[in-house]
Structure 1
Amino acid sequence: MSPEKLSESESESEAEAESEALKIAYSPCPNDTFVFDAWAHGRVPGAPALDVTFADIDITNGMAERGELDVLKVSYAVLPYVLDEYALLPCGGALGRGCGPLVLTREPGVDLTGRTVAVPSERSTAYLLFRLWAADTVPGGVGEIVVMPFHEIMPAVRDGKVDAGLVIHEARFTYRNYGLHSLADMGEHWETTTGLPIPLGAIIAKRSLGAEELRRLADSARASVRAAWDDPEASRPYVLEHAQEMDPKVADQHIGLYVNEFTADLGEDGYAAVRGLLTRAAAEGLVPPLGPDALAFP
């Protein structure tokens, strides 16, 4: 076979492999790249190949609502809108303790009654936790909610463009660099009032893939998590490549906070946390109610 024909054959094989690959989207955040590194790079035996799209959670939430892609990392807050088409995988996502969103202000002890608050999305778990916290602690109600890209929130609070900002992820470690104060920890409030872990990000997959394939995906995600734990250094290049100039120490803190036993398996407490959050949010009129078997995995 000539080199040209070999090249054509290789190209056809690559195109065929790409067409058969599972289309997945998750964020470039360290916890997601850490979790999916082994799977994305073919180091999980028996796992389907992945065609990865990197997108922030607000983008993947929209993809889920439009029914795009086979597998997505989304906010738990979006589940009530997509569970007819997608199933919740029992692993691969982000729950935890001591890792909730923060409300930041320029001055300590600000009363948020009637104040403007910047949030990264109104279809996020962070937003649901914030609204549940505000219902309990801001009797007069907060003022205008302004949606803005996550990276703009802390500068906007610092510069006085908004009165407060709701932040997630690595901002827990960096907000002091902006001269800001933590007014309240949404996760602390949630844990104190429920005793449950904080549900943040979920992995969902299309029900149309079938029960057997959904179980294979769950096994693959779980194996990828365990591979990352067994050899953390193997994932480091992938994590830092996509960490958006994040300090490696902050990336390690991020992983330590968001990748835990609930990532390997939601378990009884994990499912209770998810149902508890969405039930409370539905009671406040923030999301549609869940059906009794909506979270069941095949």
Structure 2
Amino acid sequence: MSGSSVSAHVREIAVAHSPDSDDAFMFYGLATNKVRVPGLKFNHTLTDIETLNRKALDGFYDVTAISFHAYPYLQDKYALMPSGGSVGEGYGPMIISTKQLTPEEACKTKIAVPGTMTTAYLALKLFSPDVETEVVPFDQIIPAVLAGKYEAGLIIHEGQLTYSRSGLHKVLDMGKWWRDLTGLPLPLGGNAIKRTLGPDLMQSVCVALRDSIQYALDNRAEALEYAMQFARDLDVQSADKFVGMYVNERTLDYGPDGRDAVSKLLDMGYEKGIIPNRAHPDWVELAAAAK
């Protein structure tokens, strides 16, 4: 059989995720072909989460990382994959400041946020519905606060571990606030898959992602070495800690309370008028043989 006829039978799957150490760790198996699926080729695009949220509105990628806050806006095009979640177990995005402020004081100022479709933004608005915000690229929030452009900023990703190096103060950890409020973990982001792929292909891709996560967890040292290229200012020990926060057994399977937390978060957003339409979380359920 000729090479051209072989390639004609390969289905390319466009995958997009954030250029962060935890996402890189999660997708290590697929990105390096340690995990393969006959007949499928995975093409990876890395870009910031707010851009991914916006592109998902148009169904741009077959598989995409999204903020859970974005899901109600794209649920007609995408279902939620059962693996790949970034879930805060009593920790998550933080409000930080150069001053020691109370959360109430911080929310009387204009807060720099990483995007209005991020889950961090949704949690902030649930905490303080009238807070004034301004969108700043996520990796520029700490510099902007240090420069005095904002009294407070809402940080995500590795900034949760590095903010204190700059002399900044933690005002409020949204994950701890959410846990105290609901008793649930804070589901920040997940992976979504286009419905137009059809049930069989959706199953195959969901199994491939789960296997990629499992491969990384089983081969932690090599997966972490790969992820370090995306670890923005983190040493190996800190990167390992950050990856452990957001890629773990919960990433393989949200669990009943994890799925409940997604519904609770989005229902609250709708009921508070932050999200205009009610979410109907729709999870791809893996066939028994794939589990």
Normalised to the residue count of structure 1, the TM-score between the two structures is 0.88
Give the equivalent residue in structure 1 for 2:159. Answer: 171
- Tell me how large the CA RMSD over aligned residues is: 2.1
In 1, distance between residues paired with 2:85 and 2:9? 25
- 1:73 is matched by which residue type in structure 2? A
Q: Which amino acid aligns with 1:200?
A: L
Q: 1:24 aligns with which of 15, 33, 36?
A: 15
Once the two structures are superposed, what CA deviation does each residue of 1:220-246 show, in whole Å capped at 9, x if it has no partner?
A: 111111111111122134212233453
Q: Distance in 2 between matches of 1:149 and 1:36?
A: 23
Q: In structure 2, which of residues 91, 95, 107 is the aligned counterpart of residue 103 of structure 1?
A: 95
Matched position secondary structure for 2:33: coil
Moved more, 234-243 or 124-133: 234-243
Equivalent position of 2:61 in the other structure: 69
Give the 3-state SS of the residue equivalent to 2:106 in structure 1: coil
Tell me how far 1:249 sits from its aligned partner: 2.1
Letter in 1 for 2:34: R
Paired residue for 2:120?
126
Post-superposition shift, 1:92? 1.2
Q: Is the 8 A contact 1:96 1:260 kept in 2?
A: no
- Please list every run of 5 or more consecutive structure 2 residues that lacks an aligned counterpart in the other structure: 286-291
Aligned residues: 281
SS of 1:271 mapped into structure 2: helix
Q: What is the SS of the residue equivalent to 1:205?
A: strand
Which letter does structure 2 place at the counterpart of 1:128? Answer: L
Cα distance change on mapping 1:219 and 1:174 into 2, 3 Å: same
Which is further off, 45-54 or 247-256?
45-54
Aligned to 2:289: none
* Corresponding residue number in structure 2 for 1:51: 43
Q: Give me the identity figure in percent.
A: 37
1:37 aligns with 2:28: yes
> TM-score when scaled to structure 2?
0.90
The match for 2:173 is 185
Partner of 2:109: 115
CA contact (8 A) 2:20 2:231 kept: yes
- Inter-CA distance 269–160: structure 2 relative to 1 (3 Å threshold): same
- Mean Cα deviation higher: 241-250 or 266-275: 241-250
Measure how far apart 1:283 and its partner are.
Answer: 1.0
- Tell me what 1:235 maps to: 223
* Cα distance change of structure 1 residues 234 and 275 upon mapping to structure 2, 3 Å threshold: same
> SS state of the match for residue 148, structure 2?
coil
The answer for the alignment partner of 1:5 in structure 2 is none
* Contact residue 217 and residue 248 of structure 2 kept, 8 A: no
- Within 5 Å, which residues of 2 pair with 1:82-97? 82-97=74-89
Counterpart contact for 1:18–1:51, Cα < 8 Å: no
Q: Distance in 1 between matches of 2:88 and 2:30?
A: 23
Residue 153 (structure 1) aligned to one of 118, 141, 165 = 141
Contact 1:199 1:274 in 2 (8 A): yes
Corresponding residue for residue 268 of structure 2: 280
Q: Which has the larger radius of gyration?
A: 1
Q: 1:107 to 1:89 in 2, by over 3 A?
A: same
In 2, distance between residues paired with 1:105 and 1:123?
22
Deviations 1:271-294 (A, max 9, x none): 1000000000111111133355x4
Cα–Cα, structure 1 residues 256 and 18, in superposed 2: closer, same or farther, change >3 Å? farther
> CA-to-partner distance for each residue in 1:165-217, whole Å, 9 max, x for gaps?
00012111111122110011111010011111110111001001111211112
Q: How far, CA to CA, are the matches of 2:269 and 2:138 in structure 1?
A: 22
| Structure 1: stretches of 5+ with no match in the other structure | 1-8, 136-140
Partner of 2:240: 252
Distance 1:184 1:39, change over 3 A: same
Letter in 2 for 1:23: A
Q: Which residue of 2 aligns with 1:295?
A: 282
Q: 2:71 touches 2:279 (CA, 8 Å); kept in 1?
A: no
Partner of 1:80: 72
Question: Contact 1:279 / 1:289 at 8 angstroms: preserved in 2?
Answer: no
After superposition, the C-alpha distances for 1:2-34 in whole angstroms (9 at most, x for unaligned) are: xxxxxxx87x689x4797321010112111111
